Structure formats: structure tokens, C-alpha cells
Amino acid sequence: MKLESSDPVVAQIIAKERVRQQNTLEMIASENHASEAVMEAQGSVMTNKYAEGYPGRRYYSGCEHYDEVENLAIKRLCELFGCKYANVQPHSGANANFAVQFALFNPGDKFAAIELSNGGHLTHGSAVNVSGKWLTPVTYRLVQDESRSDWGYLDFDSVEAVMKEHRPKVIMCGYSAYPREIDFKKFREIADRYNAILWADIAHIAGLCAGGAHMNPFPHCHVVTSTTHKTLRGPRGGIIMTDDEELSKAFNKAVFPGSQGGPLMHVIAAKAVAFGEALRPEFKTYSAQVVRNAKRLASELSGKGYKLASRGTDNHLILIDLRPVDADLTGKTAALWLEQVGIIANMNTVPNESRSPMQTSGVRLGTPALTTRGLLESDIAEVAGIIDMTLRSKGEATKLAEAGQRVRAVCERFPMH
């Protein structure tokens, strides 16, 4: 039975969301538009089965085709990143991170990660997350001195100092609001000096790594976790990868039965589709265009007087400090104005933040979804002009209305497929 006839209320909500996505420019750096094939697999009959366990070792009968699709997802993922072992069952990036922590740590163990205010993630040791309550995070920072040419880049002196003082079991790299390339090789050199495990959470940059637009975490990292949406453009889910067989066994046990029950096999089927798409040559073209678009966005906004964290970008996102342009404009208000005109972004803390995380002095913008829709550098320049107009509008209705008309014109030129 069709959804429209069986539940018209939900059907209408979904239809409205489809219209919203068509008529807005999605610039949240952690979001993207999955292909019709990915969504078809996720909405398939694969949702109907319990498949606790792993291929060939299930706790339920009738799993022949579920073994087949999970093995395919693992094979494609390992080929994509050049690793030996992978677990595709984590329901999310947070679940993948928790499983790794469950496998590697005892309560109270130390691990090194970046400060949340410098671009980290809740699962990297935030006090409100199990990673901060159960474990002992020790933190490194970005370069803070704005007189330096590498201001806003990873401060490897800080990394070294933290490792030397605390001798944590694990060092984490990979961030949610860091606009520069991560040197996994350099992190591995530091990890080896202190006999530590190197763990990369590449949730934001996985697609760029897979597409050759960012350094691959392998063979440098002992373990790599990621989401499967964002730049990888798949369904919402998580993955764990490694080259170490013993670590792989530990991670498998930490996922099931350690922290999850039955895997979401319809999502794993969609992951297999997304990994297959990412193995195609056109995905490399896409990944390179994401970065070119982000660089153009950075140069356009920088030229209009906006202060960018690290003064630019090497990847898919930029972080704007609004204070030099409008000292009274908060990130929260800026994101609301942008949403009013049809540009979807998020408020974000910035280096040397002076406001609370519920207000912030910055906004984060990304180019993955716009690139999926087909926008190129010249189109991004036009979008940057609309962003500038919106942020300088002081909230005036006429200016916001004009910016909204310009957004709708861009959306009409690049329809959703």
C-alpha cells in the first residue's frame, strides 16, 4: 500500500520536507543529499530481518542475503580506504566511537583529543558525554597566536606536550570544525614515540579521503571511525576500520554484543550502495569540486571582510568569525537570518570565543550538498554574495526578502534529482 493512502499525514510531512530541500541551499557541513539508489536500498525489504551476529555467525535463521550484502559492504569499504578489516554495523558515528572506546579503555583511562572549543566533538571527551564521564580526556589545541602564519592550524607542539606529560593510551585526531588538512603521518610519528594508539575520526572528511581530495588515514592510523553520510554521501550510519586483526576482533565484540543488538540491515545495504558509488571515478571529481567550492567560498567571504578560522580552508568547510563585521551579531542570530532566506547553516564557536555555545560568535558553512546539486565555483561566488547581504542586513525585512528571492533563483537553476 502506498504511503499516501495508508498514512497521508506522514506522507504530507515527507512531501513538505522534499519541497524544503528543493527550495533551500544546504550548507551545514555535516549534511549532504544521498542518491535515489541509496534511499531506495534504505527503504527496502532489508528492514524486515533480525540479523544479530556477523556474516556466517548469525543468531537467527534466514540471513543468507543479509550475509551477502554485509560482506559486500565490508569488501567495498576496505577497497575504498585501502584497509584490511571493517565493521559496518554501528548505527551512527557516536556508536562507532563508543565501541572503540569500549574495546580500548578501562574506566578512567587517559586519551588525548583536541579541545571541544577548538573544533572537537562531543564523543571526543566532552564532559556531558560518556567519553568525558567514563574516561579521562587530556587536550591539545590549535595555534592561538594570530601573529603566526599558521594561526588556527593544529599546534603539534601542544600535541607533543600533552603526550609527554600525560602518556595517554590513545591519541585522537579528526574534527567537526577544522578547515585544514590533517597530517596523519605526523600524528603517527608522535603516537609511536609515546607507544600510543592513533585513532582518527574522519566523519567529516571521509568522502574527501575516499575521493583523493584529502590524505588517507591509512596506513598511518591504528583505527579509523566515521559516519557514512556527510562527504561520503551515504545513509546515516557509522563504520570502524583497521589494519590490525586483533583490534578488529576487539571492535567487533565491542559493537556486538558489547554495545548494540541487531544491526540495521537496510542501512547496511544502503552503505554498500554508497561505497560502490564512492568507488566510481566520478566520485573523485565530486570530492575535488567540493574542495574547490569551499576554497572559493572562503576567498569570496574573506575578500568581503569576514574573518575565517585559520584564514581559509583545505577541505569542505569554513568557519566564520562574525565579530569583525558586526560585533553584536551572534552565530545564533546569523543562522536564523540565513534560514529565513533559504540558506541552512549552523552557529558555531570560533577561536577565542567570547560567547556561550548557545549563542556563539561564528557560523560554520560547508559545500558538500551544494556540490552534489551541481554548483561550481562561479555559482558559489553568487551564494557568497547572498550570504554577505544577509549577514549585513541587520535583519531588515526588505533585504532578507531580496536575499530570499536570489536563493530561490539559484535553487531553480539546480533542481534536486
Return the active site residues: 50, 52, 201, 227, 230, 236
Quick one: which H or E segment has residue 58?
strand 57-58
Helices (H) and strands (E) in the chain, counts: 16, 15
Report helix, strand and coil shares of the chain as percent, to nearest 5. 50, 15, 40
Q: Which residues make beta-bridge pairs with 54?
A: 57
Q: Return d(Cα 68, Cα 172) in angstroms, integer.
A: 33
196: amino acid identity, one letter? A
The residues, ordered by sequence, that sit 6+ positions from 109 with a Cβ below 8 Å of its Cβ are: 135, 136, 168, 169
Q: Cell numbers of 234, please?
A: 551515504
Q: Cell numbers of 359, please?
A: 549563542
Q: Return d(Cα 293, Cα 291) in angstroms, integer.
A: 5
Main-chain phi, psi angles of 364, to 5 degrees: -110, 135
Quick one: which H or E segment has residue 326?
none
Q: Cell numbers of 32, please?
A: 549532504
Q: Return d(Cα 103, Cα 263) in angstroms, integer.
A: 18
